[in-house]
Amino acid sequence: MAPIRFIHTADLHLGSPFTGISGLASAQRKKLADTVYQAFDALIDYAISEKPDFMLIAGDIYDGEDRTLRAQYKFQKGMERLDHAGIPVIISHGNHDHLGGGWTRFELPANVHVFDDGVSSHSFTVSGNKVTVTGFSYAERHVKEAKIIEFPQADETSACHIGMLHGSMDGDSSHAVYAPFKKEQLLSKNYHYWALGHIHLRQILHHDPYIVYPGNIQGRHRKETGQKGFYDVRLENGETTMEFIRTSAVCFEGLEVSCKEILHMNELIDACSEAVEKYTAENNAVMAVLHLKDVDEQSAELLEGIPEEALLEAIQEALESTSADAWITGVVVDEALNETRVSAIGEKISATMNEWDQSDWKRVLKDLYQHPKASRYLDSLTDELIQEIAAEAVPKIHKAMRAGE
């Protein structure tokens, strides 16, 4: 079999609003929103430069079922560029961009094949070899059934058979569970490669054959940390090799800052700046939460009574005089010291809040979400947003309700 080379990407989320980020000026927020499109441009630029045999996009091209006009236009122009370069593209739509959503009609070029809502196979020729790709698109947002049982066995007449599946491994609760599958079910099909989507954490579930989540191409909130991108995959003589290609224009990270032997606030601000500068020098732009470690009694006393907003402002101002392309979105003090000082009622509040489900959060936040003015600026109360709110609330409760205060 001649070598086969393809790009495996997923979860582009074009049009993502970026959630849980406060304190940004409008220009900075727009710049952040544009990073999704920068990541998409990087994907297309790489493909045109490297000229793989084809590209697979395993779901969630768009961030919402009602696809924005800008997102659709950017995607259509990207597909045109790939068409001019002679690169076929195979697409399966996922839960965010399902076929039942709303969109403006854009005509995709002839190089693009889009799976419909039934499991089907698409075959084409690469260097004289027959390649078959099997997949499906979501007809609606919630596909709870195990679509894997509808996938056929590998086509023995194909030199390479690839499965595309936007879904969750059975038992994985990191995302909403859609189109669940067991690894053994994938392996039983005898495909040469499984191109997965839906989980934003880059991971390889199995080798020989490879079962792969490439992750998304650009992080969109604090929990989507680290470098994001796609895989450049090569299949040759029964061997699979993969190279991760970074596309993220900005990374979300948690950066550690040691407070050991820090006595004065200027020392702390300098230490924070140095940690951020070191990261951006070795990587790229960053949206960071600073985790203050090694907090002793002296540094704890230094931080006592300082509002987080004031500390953030001072650190950000210090960074503006450096070359670091960074924005600090939060400062978290080492919980190891704080937990011993949290009052009993503070612990009780935190424990109660951890037991809340989505209906409890909706009840607590009902007045805010029904406010005629404030509600216009709030993101939908999804499970992801609830997790972000809870993660930020716990340290604030601990800080406000320490023992003896």
Nearest to 274 by CA among 287, 258, 289: 258
Task: Work out the burial of residue 367: count CB atoms within 10 Å of its CB; fewer than 13 is exposed, 13-18 middle, 19 or more buried.
Answer: exposed
CA dist 387 and 358 (Å) reads: 10
**Side-chain half-sphere exposure of 59, counting CA atoms within 13 A:** 30
Q: Find out whether 223 and 387 touch, Cβ atoms under 8 Å.
A: yes
Q: Look at the chain and count its residues.
A: 405
Nearest to 247 by CA among 284, 194, 288, 199: 284
CA dist 340 and 75 (Å) reads: 52
pLDDT at 304: 86
Q: Find out whether 369 and 381 touch, Cβ atoms under 8 Å.
A: yes
Helix (H, G, I), strand (E, B) or coil at 299: helix
Q: Find out whether 35 and 284 touch, Cβ atoms under 8 Å.
A: no
Residue carrying the six token digits 């669940």: 180
pLDDT at 339: 46
- DSSP-derived pairing of the beta strands 120-126 and 129-135: antiparallel
pLDDT at 29: 75
CA dist 141 and 97 (Å) reads: 8
CA dist 268 and 278 (Å) reads: 15
pLDDT at 344: 64
Digits of tens for pLDDT over the chain (405 positions)?
Answer: 789 999 999 999 998 877 666 666 677 777 787 899 999 999 999 999 999 999 999 999 998 887 889 999 999 999 999 999 999 999 999 999 898 888 777 899 999 999 999 999 999 999 999 999 999 999 998 899 999 999 999 999 999 999 999 999 987 666 678 999 999 999 999 999 999 999 999 999 999 999 999 999 999 888 888 999 999 999 998 899 999 999 998 999 999 999 998 999 999 999 999 999 999 998 888 999 999 999 988 888 888 888 888 999 999 999 988 888 888 888 988 765 444 455 566 667 877 877 787 778 888 887 777 766 566 556 667 766 776 677 667 666 655 655 444
Q: Find out whether 404 and 341 touch, Cβ atoms under 8 Å.
A: yes
Which residue type occupies 261? E
pLDDT at 32: 80
- Token reading at 243: 């190279």
Helix (H, G, I), strand (E, B) or coil at 99: coil
pLDDT at 284: 81
